[in-house]
Chain A
Amino acid sequence: MTYQAPIRDIMFNIEHLPPTPEAGAAGGGIELEDVGAALEALGRFCSDIVAPLSRVGDEAGARLDGTEAVLPEAYTQAYAQFAEMGWQSLPHPEEFGGMGLPRAAAAAATEILNASDLSFGLCPLLTDGAVEALLLTGSDAQKQKYLERMISGQWSGTMNLTEPQAGSDLGRVRCKAEPAADGTYAVSGTKIFITYGEHGLTENIIHLVLARTPNAPAGPKGLSLFIVPKFLVEEDGTLGRRNAVTCVSLEHKLGVRASPTAVLEYDGATGFLVGEENRGLEYMFVMMRAARFAVGVQGVAVSERACQHALQYAQERVQSRPVDGSTKDAAPIIRHPDVQRMLLRMRALTEGGRALAIATAGWLDLAKQGYTDAEDMAEFLVPLVKAFCTERSLEVTSLGVQVHGGMGFIEETGVAQFYRDARILPIYEGTTAIQANDLLGRKVLRDGGATARRFAGMVQETEQALQGGQCSGAGRGKAAGRGVPDV
């Protein structure tokens, strides 16, 4: 079955869940209907072109041909259309050719794309992160040189943090950057697990690389951030010489198999410093906040896809008489209470995750407008989106397999792939434990629980509104009257 973007639910979320109207569509001066129309068009593109890729990509995987990563041909065509239609530009500023949609709408677009195929969605996701980092920390000249063509989807972006000895602990990064006389740096070392680190979907790849200058202090405070393009970009914007960064292998993986995960060898590659030396990790955190949020949205995305498959299968598969004796014959399994329990768990976790993500997108937009209170709240919520939505996606995709019975375990059904694809989500962009350390250490203990208490206060206000009957009929009867537990 094909994927249908859940536009109705998404639009309900965008309309009602950002903390203030300014943080939703209204803030960008954009009509809700226009957001809806854009997302519907994206949804059609994804149902028709992207969703059919996922089986093909899972079976063929990305493979290495010499030093070039090759994706199935259908990916190349789909990406070209994706860029042509301008989808990469959706959340980015108009100044550089973007559509400038608010973040809640951008989150919805990320969901739709990634529900169609996580492997495909990863390329734009990393480009978004790199664009965000350059927007906030790049020089004007760097912005002029790179942003327009990244935002158009002509070039993609990557983030190069991980090395064999440095994963969760980036203080152990060893890649070197030697300053040259002309103000550039020569970057050398090995980076591993680099998503879309090499591919032919775009004519250039803009790597953002963490490395250490010669006299940098040890540990995390001695890292600097560099732009290392696959092809150097001349002053007139044309592509010049191939830079000294080589893909030496691609990983064989449990899931997201069409997404090339590269080992990259930097051998004196020409790099351009972003901002100041030794502030690289700080800058990278900018990119990581956007990327962590987006990975949380990937969790919602794969959950939605699993829900749609499970619901359809449960309506078609006939097995066993219902316990209430309502029919003499065997009935579609959706009539069995436990199948309903599984489907509702899947649906509720997916809608809960989506609601959390879209509300958080609103807080992120408020933070960007300079409200410090919103900044603290966004910082508090992002690790929740990342870790909660991805951990729960494992449960949702596993239930999706269970609803299918034995067929769920058979690859042909496609739902086993969602389960395998989802498994990376609680690992990359900082494992669940790293998110939890961030939440407890930096977002809760550091301010003595002030933000956490503010969060609790807002939750309580909503609880009171629910109990105080600010909701009507079914809402009040069910939510307040019939034991919505107090937490």
Chain B
Amino acid sequence: MFEASLEWLLNTAGKDPNAAFGGSVPFLMLTGNLAAAWQLGRSILAASAKLEQGEDTGFMTRKIATAVFYAQHILVECGAENLRITEGSASLGDAALNL
């Protein structure tokens, strides 16, 4: 999803900057979402290793559960942002605002 948006933006920005920058906030929110998920993914790896060693199991279990919730409930929003960026640019702009 990130890569699809990225390639679309790289291909579009030169010829149609308004279309590309109309997607700039959705792209930031997509990327921020993914970056946070990435770090929570690294947290799962670290917490799993600690669990294996039997260290602070209550905290580690909760940490993993929260990260999995993030992936299933928040990371999925990247799909909608990608659609806004790559399919939504035509309906952005002057026409609908009556300018």
Q: Which residue of the partner chain, among B2, B10, B43, B79, contacts A17 with CB atoms under 8 Å?
A: B43
A358 and B72 alpha carbons, distance in the complex (Å): 23
Min CB distance A358 to B, Å, is 8
For A391, what are the chain B residues with a Cβ–Cβ distance below 8 Å? 29
Would A459 and B45 count as touching, CB distance under 8 A? no
* Chain B residues touching A, range: 35 or more
CA distance A466 to B37 in the complex (A): 12
Partner of A348, one of B2, B7, B66: B66
Q: How far is the CA of A89 from the CA of B32 in the complex (A)?
A: 30
Task: Give chain A nearest CB distance to B79 CB in angstroms.
Answer: 8
Verify A475–B75 contact, CB threshold 8 A.
no
Question: Is B92 interfacial (CB-CB < 8 Å)?
Answer: no
Q: Are B20 and A440 in contact (CB under 8 A)?
A: yes
Q: Which of B9, B32, B51 contacts A384 (CB 8 A)?
A: B32
In the complex, the answer to whether A436 meets B34 with C-beta atoms within 8 Å is no
Contacts A433-B24, A484-B68, A484-B71 hold; do A445 and B13 have CB atoms under 8 A apart?
yes
Cβ of A487 and Cβ of B1 under 8 Å apart? yes
Contact in complex: A356, B36 (CB < 8 Å): yes
Q: Are A479 and B24 in contact (CB under 8 A)?
A: no
Is B31 an interface residue, CB under 8 A from the partner?
yes
Chain A interface, >50% SS class: helix
Which of the 9-residue segments A177-185, A228-236, A450-458 touches chain B?
Answer: A450-458
Residues of B within 8 A of A359 (CB): 39, 42
Known: A16-B46, A356-B35, A387-B32. A440 touches B21 (CB 8 A): yes
Q: With A352-B74, A475-B48, A484-B71 in contact, do A463 and B41 touch (Cβ < 8 Å)?
A: yes
- Distance in angstroms from A254 CB to nearest chain B CB is 22
Of B6, B43, B78, which one neighbours A16 at CB under 8 angstroms? B43
Q: A459 contacts which chain B residues (CB < 8 A)?
A: 2, 34-35, 38, 41
- B residues with a Cβ closer than 8 A to A are 1-3, 6-7, 9-10, 13, 20-21, 24-25, 27-29, 31-49, 51-52, 56, 59, 61, 63-76, 78-79
Partner of A455, one of B21, B35, B47: B35
Scoring B2, B35, B67, B69 by chain A CB atoms within 10 A of each residue's CB, the highest score goes to B35
B73-A344 in contact (CB<8A): yes
- Once the chains are docked, how many angstroms separate the CA of A445 from the CA of B11? 10
A348, B41: Cα distance in complex, Å: 12
Contact A483 B72 (CB under 8 A): yes
In the complex, the answer to whether B44 meets A471 with C-beta atoms within 8 Å is yes
Of chain A, the residue at the smallest CB distance from B31 is A384
Point out residues on A near B: beta carbons under 8 Å.
Answer: 8-9, 12-13, 15-17, 341, 344-345, 347-349, 351-353, 355-356, 358-359, 381, 383-385, 387-389, 391-392, 432-433, 435-437, 439-441, 444-445, 448-449, 452-453, 455-456, 458-459, 462-463, 465-466, 470-476, 478-479, 482-485, 487
Docked CA distance A455–B78 (Å) = 16
Contact A348 B6 (CB under 8 A): no
Are A439's CB and B31's CB within 8 A?
Answer: yes
Please give 7 more A-B residue pairs, beta carbons under 8 A apart, in addition to A352-B39, A474-B64. Answer: A9-B59, A449-B10, A459-B34, A462-B41, A466-B44, A485-B71, A485-B76
Shortest Cβ gap from B89 to chain A (Å): 13
B2, B39, B75, B79 interface centre (most CB from chain A within 10 Å) = B39
Given the interface pairs A356-B36, A359-B39, A466-B41, the reply to whether A12 lies near B63 with Cβ below 8 Å is yes
